[in-house]
Every structure is written in C-alpha cells, then in structure tokens.
Amino acid sequence: MNLNESFDVSPSKVEALLARIKRLAIAPAAIEERFIRGGGKGGQKINKTANRVQLRYAPLDLVVRCQKDRRRTVNRFLALRELVDRVEMTVSPGTSERLREFERLRRNKLRRGGRAAAKYAASSAPQP
C-alpha cells in the first residue's frame, strides 16, 4: 500500500494516523489493498463504481472493508484507520483508545442496569 498518496481528509488527521502506524511498526508493504464494487443504497453510481476498499493485513490475518463515503480516497483513509485500530487492539491493548472507549461504555451500561434494577425492585416489593 502506498501511503504517500493524498487522502481527502485534513492533513492533521493523516499525520496522526501515520504517526500511529510508525509507533505500532506496521509495515505498509504488508497491507494488501483491493477496490471492489459497493452495494446497498446509492443506485447506479454505487453499483457501477469500485469505491469499496478492502484492506488485508497478512501478519495478523486482519481484513477491513469500508464503504462509508462515495469517494474512494476517504474510504481508503477510513479503512486504514480501522485497520490500525484493530492492530493496536491486538498488539498493545493497554494503549488502545478504542478499547478504553469500549470499557467506558460497558461500565456505563452496567451502572445504568444496576440503577434500573434497584429502582424497580424497590417499587415492586410488597407493601405491608
């Protein structure tokens, strides 16, 4: 994969992603990139153009597909960012922001469930 091509996103986001790739020691040559036809809503334009990006990182056997935008360059960036997130979750889970976010959401759900159980358990108890 060639990381020197331009993406249609802000330069600061690209620099941050490249810094993460360097920090995690991901070899860009090990990333296989394919463009395949999209699907779903969008009509003729989606069905005729190959703007869905599929990235495969062979050392960890990870595959990422992305078709969130009409533009191929944006989909390339989003797929690469998702791939880097997955590599980081696998290689160094202690530094992964995405895993921290999952953990935060899990704690919030547990707390919410506990509050609801306490609220409805108190109201459904038989009154003397």
Q: What is the pLDDT of residue 126?
A: 64
Q: Are residues 35 and 10 in the same domain?
A: yes
Number of domains in the chain: 2
Q: What is the pLDDT of residue 95?
A: 79
| Token pair belonging to 69 | 């935008």
Domain that holds residue 109: 96-128
The dihedrals phi and psi of 40, each to the nearest 5 degrees, come to: 90, -155
Q: Are residues 83 and 101 in the same domain?
A: no
Of 12, 11, 10, 20, residue with least CA distance to 80: 20
Q: What is the mean pLDDT of each run of 10 residues along the chain (128 residues)?
A: 84 92 92 89 78 93 92 93 91 82 89 84 64
- The whole-angstrom separation of Cα 62 and Cα 59 is 8
Of 45, 53, 47, residue with least CA distance to 78: 53
